[in-house]
Amino acid sequence: MVSFRNRLRFEHQLAALVGLLCLALVGATVCGAVWLERRSAAELAGDRLARLAAFMAGSLDTTLRERFREIQVVASLAPLRERWNADPAATRGVLAAMRTTAPDYAWLGFVARDGVVRAATEGMLEGLAINGRAWFETGLTRPNVGDVHGAVLLSRLIARAEPEPLRLVDLAAPVRDAGGAVIGVLAAHLSWDWAIRVRRGLLDEGLPGTDLWVLDRSGHVILGPHLGAMPFGPARLGLLVEERRGTFAEVIDGETRLAGFAAAATGERTGIASADPGLGWIVVATRPEEEVLAPVRRSAQALLGLGAAVALIGVVLAWCLGRRAAAPLRRMTAAVDRIGRDADATTLPRLDGASEFAALSAALRSLLRRIGTVERELTDITIRSTRVAAYYRRQIEDLRQVAGSDVLTGLRNRRGFAAPAEKAFAQARDGRCGVAVLVVDIDHFKRVNDQHGHDAGDAVIRHVGTLLAEAVRGSDTVARFGGEEFVVLLVGLGGAEAALIADRLCIAVRGAAITHAGSVIMVTVSIGVATVSAHDPDIQAAIARADAALYEAKARGRDRVGVAPATGKAGRAA
């Protein structure tokens, strides 16, 4: 009974130890993986929501800016100065032509200085006195834009397909005669339906559960559900205005939602009569956290099930290994003891019991008598250790090389780019040669992933990387910094030569067709160019200016080159 208990104690202790170790490792791995996946999912969703909000804000700014400029241009046209107070029919024709080119105008009219509407599209409101209206009174002195408001008079005159009530944005600019005197106001009511259509189109293309709100500068909803409501408190609203763009999580209507936001341009920064008539709107894109993290929960459940199975298998294997390890250990102890005491011993008797550890201690003392055997074993161990050490040295050297390379493209990664970049920066600072940096980004790369799959996206990245590497000189360095972004280091060139090379790279990528899974994919790139300046503290400053120039190129339509000033003061495009 003692021998049986001792045997079970050893095996069970080994099984318990290995089992606990498996559970700890599997539990830590699963928890870490779930935490990382949850964080990654939240960051990815927040980034998508922020980009969606920024796109909506940009669309609102662009449309409002175009209409605002158009009103100012038409109001200041010299050929029209004699028509405003002439035949209303001629003025009506000019207004009708403006509305034809921009159907978002709900109403256009010329209001004389006395406040009477002299001419308007379709004759609406002609002869009506509108004295006291804020847009008219301000329009007599300077161009202005009013915030979104409900239509009072026009709602009964204009037929609409939209179910929402007609809402308008007022635009006005003073009209002057040849002598510079104000003779009236060119006014326009821009239909808010254009913003409704933009929002609807973005939501149709977005993920389920996504919603888009547009808030005015006071925090009231002017586009989206619950018009007029204030979904955020003053503290949150202040952060949105201050940070301009970002992400956050908020409990809204009892539900936690992830949100990305972007603040539109504000006229207070540039002047309401400037080229930027922004009203400080804030666009917020939200999605329920429950939907964002649903895939993570499913993955967590699968990982927990797999981890439990692995831990159980580990316990069973540990118990089996313990059983098998106990008998050889005892037999080895007895054999070593006999060999140490009797050189003629050749048999290995079977011994039971739990005294193997004490017997092993006695066997080690007897092994001193067989020092020759120990020396041979030590020699073998030394040889094996030397081979293992040489193997690991080769492995470490291989790992050092791999650490500086991008796995997908074979180009240098950010780590591998650092050494040649710092060397080139030192040469530029010493005045030995000029150094330029190109930041290259694949345009609309998300469409490639969405339409063709991530394998196609990887193929596009590899193809563009190959084109860049083949198009530059052997002394230049091409690196992939992550995602669809590449950085090219040009040594011995100035800004003009670097811009020519960037144009050549754009042409090369534009003219290359990428075939993947039977589909032909055409892509373009936008490139930012910057040269290392004496004012740059390090190479990262030049990369930052090239990155800003890249965003400017994208803002101007993509598939083009943006060149940053060499002073280090370039700003990132909005």
Q: Which of 227-241, 297-311, 336-350 has the lowest mean pLDDT?
A: 336-350
Residue 569 falls inside a structural domain: no
Task: Please give the pLDDT value at position 438.
Answer: 94
Q: 558: pLDDT confidence band, cut at 50, 70 and 90?
A: very high
Q: Are residues 80 and 222 in the same domain?
A: yes
Question: What angle (nearest 5°) sits at the alpha carbon of residue 305, between those of residues 302 and 307?
Answer: 105
Phi, psi of 259 (to 5 degrees): -140, 145
215 CB-near residues (< 8 Å, 6+ apart): 221, 222, 231, 232, 237, 281, 282, 283, 284
Tally of residues, the chain:
574
Q: Are residues 335 and 462 in the same domain?
A: no
Residue 353 falls inside a structural domain: yes
Q: Are residues 42 and 142 in the same domain?
A: yes
67-73 long-range contacts, CB within 8 A, separation 24+: 67/102, 67/104, 67/105, 67/171, 67/188, 67/190, 68/143, 68/145, 68/171, 68/277, 69/275, 70/98, 70/102, 71/143, 71/171, 71/172, 71/173, 71/186, 71/188, 72/143, 72/173
Phi-psi group of 127: left, alpha or beta (phi > 0 → left; psi -120 to 50 → alpha; rest → beta): left
Residue 399 falls inside a structural domain: no
Q: Cα separation of 529 and 500, whole Å?
A: 10
Return the CATH number at 526.
3.30.70.270
Question: Could you list the residue range(s) of the whole structural domain that residue 451 is in?
Answer: 414-563
Residue 100 falls inside a structural domain: yes
- What percent of the chain clears pLDDT 90, i.e. is strictly above it? 23
Split into its structural domains, the chain has a count of 3
Q: Give mean pLDDT, residues 423-435.
A: 82
Q: Are residues 39 and 148 in the same domain?
A: yes
Q: End of a domain among 323, 357, 392?
A: 392
Q: Which of 21-30, 119-128, 149-158, 390-399 has the lowest mean pLDDT?
A: 390-399
Is residue 488 predicted with pLDDT exceeding 50? yes
Task: Please give the pLDDT value at position 401.
Answer: 60
Q: Are residues 455 and 377 in the same domain?
A: no
Q: Are residues 476 and 379 in the same domain?
A: no
Residue 494 falls inside a structural domain: yes
Q: Give mean pLDDT, residues 2-27.
A: 66
Residue 406 falls inside a structural domain: no
Residue 349 falls inside a structural domain: yes
Q: Are residues 324 and 422 in the same domain?
A: no
Q: End of a domain among 234, 257, 292?
A: 292
Q: Are residues 453 and 519 in the same domain?
A: yes
Q: Give mean pLDDT, residues 115-135.
A: 90
Residue 568 falls inside a structural domain: no
Q: Give mean pLDDT, residues 409-428.
A: 87
Return the CATH number at 108.
3.30.450.20
Q: Are residues 195 and 320 in the same domain?
A: no
Q: Give mean pLDDT, residues 295-318.
A: 76
Task: Please give the pLDDT value at position 416.
Answer: 87
Residues 332-365: tens digit of each pLDDT: 666 666 665 665 555 655 555 555 555 555 554 5
Q: Are residues 14 and 150 in the same domain?
A: yes
475, 529 Cβ separation under 8 angstroms: no
Q: Give mean pLDDT, residues 428-442.
A: 87
Residues 72-106: tens digit of each pLDDT: 999 898 888 888 888 888 888 888 888 888 888 98
Q: Are residues 77 and 214 in the same domain?
A: yes
- Answer with the residue of higher pLDDT: 479 or 209: 479
Q: End of a domain among 326, 359, 392?
A: 392
Q: Are residues 171 and 232 in the same domain?
A: yes
Q: What is the mean pLDDT of the chain?
A: 81
Q: In this structure, what is the dihedral angle of CA atoms 47, 52, 55, 56, given to the nearest 10 degrees?
A: -140
pTM of the prediction?
0.51
Kind and range of the H or E run holding 514: strand 513-516
Task: Please give the pLDDT value at position 69.
Answer: 92
Beta bridge partners of 140: none
